[in-house]
Structure 1
Amino acid sequence: MSHLEIAAFILNVLGVWLTSKQYRICWLVNIAAVFLYMIIFYQVHLLADAALQGVFIIMQIYGWFSWSKATAAEPLHAGYMHKAVLGRSMVIGIAGGLFLGMLFATYTHASLPWLDSMLASFSLVASYWAAKKYIESWAMWCVLDAIYVLMYLHKSLNLTAFLYFIFILLALNGWRMWRMKWKADRQAEIQSLGG
């Protein structure tokens, strides 16, 4: 356990909590946390995860701009995605994981290239969903984080494994909070139409 891992742990917990509260600053905190984990994963040869962190920085910037575009007149509300978006997302996640897995298994000394790549690909899908405020993003994070816990324990990244366990709890809370906000927004919309 290094000082770098401890700092990344603290920033990640803070970032996920801020996301669940729908505070836009979450994206900036997440950028710092992601950068630290890029270094950590490279050091333990989880190359797909290290590369993923670089892409995550881009996704965090996208999330910042996506949430920043919302205005009082046109707010970005949490909501459920259409089934077509879900289907396309799953196909993209699988294809991305297989492509990355082939690359990392063939051309690098990456540890657990197929699992790491599939998790990386679906993490990007979940990040995109979060940037769009799809409530399903939290369910995806619960599944991914549970698998990440096992992978990081296998790599002796015990604090990181514990962090991802906390992520599961935070994701469950975020899921609950976004659903409650969605229900409240729907109720307010129905009342405004009725009044």
Structure 2
Amino acid sequence: MLHSFYEFWTAAVGNTPLEWVAVLTGFACVWLAARESLWNFPVAIFSCALYIVVYYGAGLYSDSLLQIMFILLSLYGWYEWLYGGRSKTELPVSRTRRWEWVACAVFIVTFTTGFGYYLEHHTDATLPHWDSFTTAGSLAAQFLLMRKRLENWWLWIVVDLLYVPILWYKQLYPTSGLYALYLGLAVYGYLEWRKSMKKEQAADSSAVAQHSPTV
């Protein structure tokens, strides 16, 4: 009994200090993204670098690989947020285009099926298809986030709902708790971005009205 309690306590407080640093910086980067702060990108890059080690050690190879992709996407997203708007201006919040939804759906299905099969038959990965699905969903959500599409938060909510039990099952308790907090941040981010988008649309409408010729 004491041995079981010790094992649970050790996992609950974090398998290594590295996991706790990754947890704290991971929470910070999502909060900064919800606030539309450019600082979310350098913090995300640092956190993802730590999670490469954490996930690999837990046998979640797809999620470990995902962190490398996140680092590359964060570098691109950093540039897009700064210069992706009209005339190389700051990128505004906007709605997801139809072709983007189709592309994300095709990618998620293809990646989950293909990479899940590879992990199941060629590695000792645990939960290979669930691992692949959350990886694909996270990449799709990150793609929409770096384009500042409002609906990226919808995908993050779905992914976070799955990550909480998966990470708990893998005894990554601090990280499982982090993803539970991400759920709240994703809802907050959606509300904040929607508010920001409405403000920008109102400002654009006002500017058009001011420059319209009067009869």
Fold equivalence (TM over 0.5): yes
Q: Aligned-pair distance for 1:144?
A: 0.4
Per the alignment, residue 167 of structure 2 pairs with 152
* TM-score, scaled to structure 1: 0.96
2:136 aligned partner: 121
User: 2:189 maps to which residue?
Assistant: 174
After superposition, the CA RMSD in angstroms is 1.3
Q: 1:21 aligns with which of 35, 39, 48?
A: 35
Task: Count the aligned residue pairs.
Answer: 195
Question: Out of 138, 144, 153, which is 1:138 matched to?
Answer: 153
State the Cα distance separating 1:15 from its structure 2 match. 0.4
- Whether the 8 Å CA contact 2:82–2:90 is kept in 1: the answer is no
TM-score by length of 2: 0.87
Amino acid at match of 1:140: L
Counterpart mapping for 1:1-195 below 5 A: 1=14, 2-70=16-84, 73=87, 74-195=89-210
How far, CA to CA, are the matches of 1:179 and 1:6 in structure 2?
31
Please report how far the alpha carbon of residue 68 of structure 1 lies from its aligned counterpart in structure 2 after TM superposition: 2.5
1:76 counterpart SS class: coil
Amino acid at match of 1:161: S
Q: Counterpart amino acid of 1:133?
A: K
- Give the fraction of aligned pairs with identical amino acids, expressed as a percent: 27
Give, as a single letter, the amino acid of the residue that structure 2 aligns with 1:23.
S
Contact 1:105 1:113 in 2 (8 A): yes
Which entry has the higher C-alpha Rg, 1 or 2? 2
Greater shift after overlay, 12-21 or 64-73? 64-73
Query: Mind listing any 5+ residue stretches in structure 2 that lack a counterpart?
Result: 1-13, 211-215
Local SS of the residue matching 2:155? helix
Q: Which amino acid aligns with 2:22?
A: A
Deviations 1:106-161 (A, max 9, x none): 11000111100111011111001000000010111011001000101111111101
Distance of 1:32 and 1:102 partners within structure 2: 30
Listed one character per residue, the Cα deviations across residues 134-189 of structure 1 (whole Å, up to 9, x for unaligned) are 00101110110010001011111111010001111111110000000001111111
The one-letter amino acid paired with 1:4 is: L
Contact kept in structure 2, 1:150 and 1:161, CA below 8 Å: yes
| 1:6 aligned counterpart, secondary structure | helix
Using the alignment, how far apart are the partners of 2:145 and 2:85 within structure 1? 18
1:81 deviates by 1.2
